[in-house]
Structures are given as C-alpha cells and as structure tokens.
Structure 1
Amino acid sequence: MIAPAITRRSFALAAGAAVAVVAVPALRAQARIEKPRLSLAVGGKAAFYYLPLTISEQLGYFRAEGLEVEISDFSGGARALQALVGGSADIVSGAYEHTINMQAKNQFIEAIVLQGRAPQIAMGVSTKTMSGYTSLADLRGKKIGVTAPGSSTNMVSNLVLSRAGIKANEVSYVGVGTAAGALAALRSGQIDAMSNIDPVMTMLEQKGDVKIISDTRTLKGTQEVFGGLMPAACLYTHVEFVQKYPNTCQALANAIVHGLKWLQTAGPSDIIKTVPDSYLLGDRALYLASFNKVREAICLDGLLPEEGARTALKALASFEPTVKVDKINLARTYTNEFARRAKDKFKA
C-alpha cells in the first residue's frame, strides 16, 4: 500500500511541531529557578543606599521572577557580609568593595547587579562637640560614628582621614547604624563626627547638627573624593553560588533592574507611597529632600563599569595594607552577564 503523499505544508507543520516538542522543555529548563527560596542580608535597609532593593521588594518584583526572598536587616554592611561568610545568608545587598577586600583574604565573592553608582556617603563633624573645627587634623583622637565597623562608611572615613595623614588607629570608630540611633548618637554628643548615608546625613545637615566635610552623594562629589566612578551597593554572593544557580542569579538581577527602571521615572509621591513609613524617620519633607540629593547616585541599568572597579581597588589599596593592586583580579569580583540580560528585558 502506497503511503499518501506528504505535501510541503504538512511537512512544515510536522517539522514545526517536532521542533516545538524539543524546544519547549529546553526553554522551561533554561527558565527554571534552581533555588526559589533565598535568604538575603543587608546592612541598613532603610537607607537610600539600598532603595532599589526596597522598591523591588515592595512592588513584588522578586515574586514576579519566581523568587521568595527573606530579607534580614543588620546594623551595617560588615555584619551582612558576616552572614554570607557564616552561611546564614545566600546573597548580600552590600558595598561592592567587599568583593575586593574578601579576595585579598583569598575568599571569592562576586557582584551580580549594581544598585548604586556613587557611595552616597557623607562625612560631617558635630557642631556641638567640634564647633571650633578647622581641618581634618582636628579629628585625630576623636570618636567617629559609622554604620558598623568595617562597613563602607568606615572605608570612606578611612580614605578621607588618610589623605590628612591620620591612620585608622588614631581615631575611635563607633557603630551607630543608619536610623534613629545614628541621629541620637550625634545629637547627644556620644560621637564627634559621623560617616553615614541618607536620609540620616541630610536630616542632621538641615537641622544644623553637622558640618559636612566630605560628600559622595553626587557624581561630582564622588569624583572629587575618589578621582573617578565608584560603584556602591550591589547584590553579591559566593562565586560558587553564581556557578551553581545561574537562573536564580538572573532572576535576582531582573528584579533589581526592574526596580531601577521604575525609579527612573518615579516622583516623590511614588517613593512615599512605596517605602515603609518607618523609613521616613518622622519627617516626610526631609526624607524627600534626601532623595532628591542622592537620586543621581542610583544606578540606571545594573551594570558595573570597569572604570569604577579600578577606582574602588585604587581607593582600598591607598589605606588598606592587605589589598595589593597587583594581586587582585577585578574580573573575578563582578559579572555584568546577568545585568546585561536584565537591561535588555526591561529596556533600562
């Protein structure tokens, strides 16, 4: 019996169906989230430094990517890093320079998406305990508040002081957090100066409690302090995690870049409606003033610039003896692979 002739159209349909049968499972496998439940550590979540994280959480962008993210908030970035190293966190929302510091200790962690393109850290002296301040030399022997010892606020303070010949062991660092406790520590005279992030610093500045002596809340100020671009908050994790859970890392990057895209056009009222009331520290107007001051420091597309990585390494090496420029492989401190795909997806 002769089989019926196969027309060109029926052959094409059959071939298409066969391809679909093969392709659909492949696509599903590619999109499968290997680790849908994650623990994320952050140090001072209410700060603008981590605003993209909060936006992505509050607007449901992590859930939209198939992730269930449990966020633990610590007093500072150094504590969040400890959570990752200790195994109680999968991911950290923290300062990029931690990836360099850890590599200097032969531990490899990698940034997968950038949230801030400037550190947004200001350093100021107390108008109460240092009313006669004239130069950085006056800070020798003083108490300086930072979010937490070893955090990026500590790093910026070290950098600023080193340029005046003051070593880290010639001052006393006090961890004060990033919220009401930081305000109270400065106003009560417990500390003489502070290196911190917004909204805390703008609130102290506008109330006349501090005199700002170094400011990286703008791109111009960052250029003046660091001599170039300086990447700030990012999501980072162990290199092994990135290799084992690439789809999970892609989903995380997608959620953050989605938040960055939203922030590009968000107005003050949008921000107020989205962040928790506790973030406002009791003063809505000052919170919005703080946001306007740091807005340009928020990353646009999640990509970490190569020039910024070099700036961070140079800055750390200038005051941190364990960090040697010729010993650090910057290519192993970050990847733009996930952010690039997320940028294409959301047209960021």
Structure 2
Amino acid sequence: MNRSIKVRLAFIVVVLLFIPFVACKKEQEQTVQVAEVTHSVFYAPLYVALSEGFFKEEGLEVELKTTWGGDKTMTALLSGGADIALTGSESSIYVEAQDTKDSVMNFAQLTQTDGTFLVSREKVNQFSWDQLKGKDFLGQRKGGMPQMVGEYVLKKEGIDVKKDLRMIQNIDFANISGAFSSGTGDFVQLFEPTASLLEKEGKGYITASFGEASGKVPYTTFMAKKSYLEENKETAEAFTRAIYKAQKWVEAKQPEEIAKAIQSHFPDTDLDVLSTAIKRYKQQDSFATDPLLNEEEWNKLQEIMKKSGELPEFIPYKQLVDSSIAKKVTDHK
C-alpha cells in the first residue's frame, strides 16, 4: 500500500471517529425558544447571557424573538410557539384566572423595578408630578405592568388618572414612541433605550423614573407552562444558571462594558446611548442580582394590580411561583 493511500485511509478513520463526537455534542445541545415582551436595555442580563456565551456553557441554544406585548407573548407561550416567556408577572395571573389546566409558572426573575421613564415634550427644570394635571399623557397598554405601575405612582402622588389628565391608551405598544415623536401627548411613558434616544434627538426629556417612584416589584420574569418545567427540569435549571451568571456579571461591570457586550442586540443604537440607559437602570437597582422571586414582591405586585382595578383574584405565591429552581441555582435555603 503506497503512502498516499495510507494517508487517505488515516484521514477517513479520523473523520469517522470525529463524526459521532460532533453528533453527540449536537444531540446534547438543547434548543430553547424564548419570547420577550419587548426589546429593551431593561433586559440587559438576558442579552449578556447570549453574547457572553453563558447559555452555550450550559449546553443551550437559545432562540430569542420579540413578540411586542404581553398578550402576544402569552399567546406564543400557550400555543407552543415559545418554551419560555419573558414578560410581566401579571400575565400569569390573568391566565390562571381563566381556569387554565396548565398553569404558567414564574421561575426566574430578571428585573425588580419598573423600567419606564416619564418623558416630557418640553424641558422641565424643576419637576413635580402635579405638572401632569390637565395634560395629555401617552400611557402604556391597559392591564400591563407599565400602565399599572404608572397609575400606581400617579395615584401615590395625588393624581386622579381619570380626572386630572387625559390618558391616551389606544396606540399599539410598538408605536408609542413614534406617536409621541409625531406630536401625540405632552408626556409619555417609555422604556430604555427609547427614552434616552428621544432625549438625544431633542424630541423629549427624561423627567422622572417610575422605577424609583414605585420601588421593588417582580416586574419581568421568565415563565413557562407547569408541564414544560416538569418535563424539562434540567433545561430550566441550566437556563436559570446562565441567567444567574449574567446577573452577577452585570452587577460587577461598569455600564460602558455592559453596553459593549450587548451592542450587537441594538445595532441601530449608539454606544453612548446604551451606556446612559444602563447607568440609569443600575442606579435604581432595576436589574435583579439573582433569579429568586420572593413572596413579598409577589404580594406587592397584586396590590398594584388591585389598585389599578385589574386583579381578577388573589393568587397565592406558591400557586404561580416555582422558586425551587432559583433556590437550587443560587443555593438559597
């Protein structure tokens, strides 16, 4: 047998030995489809988990899609279009109130304050909440966390949302900032980086933070159908471990470094705008430092819903919160 034939045979043997290894690796990598309610710097730890390879480290291939609105996000989850949803915890309560046979369980918290800011059309040097009286307020979707927290803050500041201002709620979630830019409303409630972007363009001015005004609440959590968590326990644990790694990473890093890590997820947004938005969120402790949703926060969520007239019924903590995964991942007792 000549040398060239030996070399070719050796190469074939190596390839044949390598193929099962690659196939095994692909077989072990679990695909997880995640639907996010909006695309915002508010969810920075999720994008860090993607860009820094934390999901990959856990053997997961995460496919992320933005579904723009709590109702659409829950539809994707319930119909099987997504394995995991990232949205406001109130969505799971609405589903439970419909006597679902497969409860939607909150298993990992991502944000722990409201993530919206009050943006004014005109620059305000000394702001007070009563300046909203008699104005057009471009709010968020009725029944969603941004709107309910917004109303909670306004009521706390002595503003009657039905009498003291003109509330505009007939604009689709994804089009709110565009409507404001086009001239609708004197004030608007927006997430980052949209709020900072409008300010940079001179189309609005960040006047106050709903997150600072409302305090801690389980604003955005990862949730899945109870059946999914029971059938994919290891996957859910791996997913939560990756999120926890990202949360600790974000906690330890400066806004500029975080902005660089997630810039690929916001290709049309300048790095300085991302850094400014992240700095605001870090200053008000919006990013949860671990995935555990506690009972006190859960009860405060329902208090906010009740005051907004949107709580269909009180749901006990353990009925819709599976804390076992987060406790295992973080070694909480």
Smaller-chain TM-score range? 0.7 to 0.9
Return closer, same or farther for 1:60/1:320 CA change in 2, 3 Å cut-off.
same
Q: Are the equivalent residues in 2 in contact too, given 1:127–1:208 (CA < 8 A)?
A: no
Structure 1 residues 73-82 or 60-69, which shifts more?
73-82
Q: Which residue of 2 aligns with 1:30?
A: none
Q: Give unpaired runs (5+ residues) of structure 1.
A: 1-32, 224-228
Structure 1 residues 297-306 or 274-283, which shifts more?
274-283
Aligned equivalents of 2:104, 2:232: Cα separation in 1: 14
Aligned equivalents of 1:312, 1:138: Cα separation in 2: 29
- Determine which of 245, 264, 267 is the counterpart of 1:258: 245
1:204 aligns with 2:193: no
In structure 2, give the amino acid aligned to 1:57.
Answer: L
- Determine which of 263, 271, 275 is the counterpart of 1:288: 275
**Structural RMSD (CA):** 3.1
Aligned equivalents of 1:38, 1:235: Cα separation in 2: 12
Q: Which residue of 2 aligns with 1:8?
A: none
- Determine which of 246, 250, 257 is the counterpart of 1:270: 257
Return closer, same or farther for 1:321/1:266 CA change in 2, 3 Å cut-off.
closer
- Determine which of 73, 77, 91 is the counterpart of 1:80: 73
1:317 aligns with 2:317: no
* CA displacement at 1:34 relative to structure 2: 9.9
Aligned equivalents of 1:206, 1:329: Cα separation in 2: 44
Structure 2 matches for 1:1-348, cutoff 5 A? 36-45=30-39, 47-107=40-100, 108-127=103-122, 135-139=131-135, 142=136, 144-146=138-140, 150-160=143-153, 164-167=159-162, 171-173=167-169, 174-177=171-174, 182-205=176-199, 209-210=203-204, 215-218=209-212, 221-223=213-215, 229-277=216-264, 279=266, 281-295=268-282, 296-324=285-313, 327-344=314-331
Count of residues in Structure 1 that have an aligned counterpart in Structure 2: 294
Q: Are the equivalent residues in 2 in contact too, given 1:104–1:322 (CA < 8 A)?
A: no
* CA displacement at 1:127 relative to structure 2: 2.6
In structure 1, give the amino acid aligned to 2:32.
Answer: L
Aligned equivalents of 1:84, 1:162: Cα separation in 2: 33
**TM-score, normalised on structure 1?**
0.74
Corresponding residue SS for 1:230: coil
Q: Are the equivalent residues in 2 in contact too, given 1:34–1:247 (CA < 8 A)?
A: no
* CA displacement at 1:68 relative to structure 2: 1.8
Question: Once the two structures are aligned, what percentage of the paired residues are identical?
Answer: 21
Q: Are the equivalent residues in 2 in contact too, given 1:121–1:197 (CA < 8 A)?
A: yes
**TM-score, normalised on structure 2?**
0.77
Deviation digits for residues 8-46 of structure 1 (CA, Å, limit 9, x no counterpart): xxxxxxxxxxxxxxxxxxxxxxxxx9992221101223x
Q: Are the equivalent residues in 2 in contact too, given 1:126–1:192 (CA < 8 A)?
A: yes
Corresponding residue SS for 1:275: helix
Deviation digits for residues 161-205 of structure 1 (CA, Å, limit 9, x no counterpart): 56633349x73311242xxx6544322213443222112223335
Deviation digits for residues 253-297 of structure 1 (CA, Å, limit 9, x no counterpart): 111111111112122342233113462644322321111110121
Q: Give unpaired runs (5+ residues) of structure 2.
A: 1-26, 124-128
Return closer, same or farther for 1:175/1:267 CA change in 2, 3 Å cut-off.
same
Q: Are the equivalent residues in 1 in contact too, given 2:48–2:262 (CA < 8 A)?
A: yes
Aligned equivalents of 2:167, 2:29: Cα separation in 1: 44
In structure 2, give the amino acid aligned to 1:59.
Answer: E
Aligned equivalents of 1:280, 1:160: Cα separation in 2: 33
* CA displacement at 1:321 relative to structure 2: 4.4
